Amino acid sequence: MPRPFNFSAGPAVLPEEVLQTAAADMLDWHGSGMSVMEMSHRGAEFISIYEKAERDLRALLAVPANYQILFMQGGGIGENAIVPLNISRGGVADFVLTGSWTEKSFKEAGKYATAHVAATAKASGFTEIPDPASWSLSKDAVYLHICSNETIHGIEYQTLPDLKALGSSADLVIDCSSHIASRPIDWSKVALAFAGAQKNLGPSGLTIVIVREDLIGHTLDICPSAFNYELVAKNQSMYNTPPTWGIYVAGLVFDWVLRQQEGGLTGLAAVEARNIRKAKKLYDYLDSSSFYSNKVAATARSRMNVPFFLADESRNADFLSGAKARGLLQLKGHKSVGGMRASIYNAMPEAGVDALIAYLREFEKTAA
Ligand SMILES: *Cc1c(COP(=O)(O)O)cnc(C)c1O
């Protein structure tokens, strides 16, 4: 029996091959006689898992040598506090509000820094990204925070803002939780990127922080030690016990991404090409139909999270039960937006998008 296609926004689909490897390793990892969950994080076995994961992620995202990769806990929501605790120095931080996640980040940062809204797309119902040329940047901001992919509203920056070109000396912080490893990151523009693992990388419980070294070492005294980037970095993410299982599974996913091939491309380039094709197919179908709609501006549409609505919302429950019966799972939209949402992360096969489109077409006919 093939597995159903899982469109959950997170925790979300993983490559089937990764799940199979994890299952085969479950009782005995590589002849060690131990499950990865049972290993000391300081033993040679786990250290080898950790080092390969770190190396593969660095290669995958072309992370420069002057950036540290930290494997932490606390999730994206934890980082909303951990980032200002570590890098704001109690000063000013600018925020561009493009949806629920940046609204949350802005609110939390205000506890530790002077948080300022540089721009907001609220008036549009969070269906667009305000033009960077119109942002009101604080003169003295230490950093500017954006969410490079708003998971709930389905908005994605197609290019990251160049703060220097906008006349700002602030460092750019990106919450890339829901599209990390789906496309390259331009490190010439980004000082700090963070991501919870459970959207595109692995199980929940692991948070990845990639931070330029000069931002480390300015932590506020009130920051809990386990969340102090300097202590975490100095201890190779083992100041406290790291989320070992999460690091192991994410490591399998990094290895999987690096091995992908697509029309002469390999690794992240191959995965990105597939993601572009998958998203285009789905948006093209939604746009061609008068029964379905996606309200996000064409220039800001996410490749990963596709919210959409039925013209007749009284059919929502029928739509979801029919989808489930066909092995198309977890398509219900977030409660704050309503409607439907198809999350089509790296691990969603193109066949899953094809099956979804076939079902959309079939359902539309029954609704006519
Ligand atoms: C899911 C998500 C988060 C929250 O992650 P938690 O692990 O629940 O803390 C933060 N930001 C974005 C963009 C997300 O998609």
Domains observed in the chain: 17-257 (3.40.640.10), 262-367 (3.90.1150.10)
Q: What is the arithmetic mean of pLDDT over 209-214? A: 98
The pLDDT value given to residue 367? 79
User: Is 114 annotated in some ligand binding site?
Assistant: no
75 Cα–ligand 1 center, Å: 6
User: Is 151 annotated in some ligand binding site?
Assistant: yes
How would residue 2 be classed by pLDDT, with cut points 50, 70 and 90?
confident
200 Cα–ligand 1 center, Å: 11
Q: Which of 106, 176, 178, 337 to mutate to test the pocket of ligand 1 (most atoms within 8 A of CB)?
A: 178
Whole-number Å distance between alpha carbons of 346 and 121: 27
User: Is 294 annotated in some ligand binding site?
Assistant: no
Contacts of residue 183, Cβ cutoff 8 Å, sequence gap at least 6:
268, 272, 275, 303
Q: What is the arithmetic mean of pLDDT over 307-321? A: 97
* Region at 358 (left for phi over 0; alpha for psi -120 to 50; beta for the rest): alpha
107 Cα–ligand 1 center, Å: 15
The mean predicted confidence, pLDDT, of the chain is 97
Tell me the two tokens of residue 84: 């200002």
Which candidate in 29, 56, 94, 199 is catalytic?
199
Residue with the smallest CA separation from ligand 1 atom 14 is: 177
Q: What is the arithmetic mean of pLDDT over 53-76? A: 98
Helix (H, G, I), strand (E, B) or coil at 255: helix
Active-site annotation holds for 135: no
Tell me which residues have their CB closer than 6 angstroms to ligand 1. 10, 75-78, 101, 147, 151, 175, 177-178, 196, 199
Whole-number Å distance between alpha carbons of 26 and 332: 32
212 Cα–ligand 1 center, Å: 22
Which candidate in 56, 171, 175, 332 is catalytic?
175
Question: Does 175 score more than 70 pLDDT?
Answer: yes
pTM score: 0.98
Question: Does 127 score more than 80 pLDDT?
Answer: yes
Residue with the smallest CA separation from ligand 1 atom 11 is: 76
Active-site annotation holds for 25: no
Q: What is the arithmetic mean of pLDDT over 31-50? A: 98
Question: Residues 98-107: pLDDT tens digits?
Answer: 999 999 999 9
With contact defined as beta carbons under 8 Å apart, do 180 and 195 qualify?
yes
Residue with the smallest CA separation from ligand 1 atom 7 is: 75
The pLDDT value given to residue 269? 98
Contacts of residue 315, Cβ cutoff 8 Å, sequence gap at least 6:
363, 367
Active-site annotation holds for 29: no
**Other CB atoms closer than 10 Å to residue 365's CB: what's the count?**
8
The pLDDT value given to residue 368? 65
CA 242 to chain centre: 20
